[in-house]
Homo-oligomer: A and B are copies of this chain.
Amino acid sequence: MGDSINFATVTTTLATVATVALYFVHKRETSKLRDALALQRYRRAHSKPSFEIETLFFPDKRIICWNFLFSKCRDESCGYCHDCEAPLARLVKTLQNAKRSIDLALFEITSEELTQALLDKLKEGVRVRLIIDSEYMMTTGSKLGKISSAGCEFIHDHTHGLFHHKFAIVDSQLVISGSMNWTRQAAIGNYENVLLVKDKNTALDFEKEYAKMWEEITDRLKSANEKLPDQAAEF
């Protein structure tokens, strides 16, 4: 009888201990798995997308306030647009956000606003490079002289074909490209589109092409014994 009771007590105790232990193991494990699931869900919900595309359409029917873009406009009766979502303002802002480099491949540049954004960046020490079309770099109103004398490195394509690009790579991360030349006419007079693409693979594609063009065109200019214009006075 004593043995039976001892046996029963030991068994009961063991079974109870096992039950309690198993309960805690179960609780810990399911809790760990639930945490892992919740973490995965949180990460998915809060992870930044690996790319962003923003599309700008022109003509911009509003004329942007210069002071608002480049300093601050405190004139309450100012009749110009103060809306930074306006397409030209978004373009200027994208350049203003550059931290290290802006690589430009442009058919022409006459836009006062885009030029001012580049001049400000050059002043801050951002590296700005430009490849531009040989003929159109000297078009009426060209800002090439201004930006090159402010420190922008540049070469011109020196071909009969057009250097028809209108793109920029900002900080090796973001590509600006579309139909729009960097002129005032394009921004306020034409139907145009510009894509702002923040995608590392696209940026890499454009960087590779930029490096290739820079080398190819520099070689062409050298073999043609072409003096590289580097004086602002030449424009």
Contact = CB atoms under 8 A, between A and B. Distances in A.
A99 interface: no
Interface in A159-175: 159-167
A61 to B, nearest CB: 11
Contact of A177 (B29, B44, B179, B206): B179
Report how many copies the assembly holds: 2
Contacts of A83: none
A103 interface: no
Interface string A4-43: 1101110110011011001101100110011011001000
B15 A4 contact: no
Interface stretch (A113-121, A140-148, A184-192, A219-227): A184-192
A191 B163 CA distance: 5
Which 4 A-B residue pairs are closest in the complex by CB-CB distance?
A8-B8, A15-B15, A33-B33, A26-B26
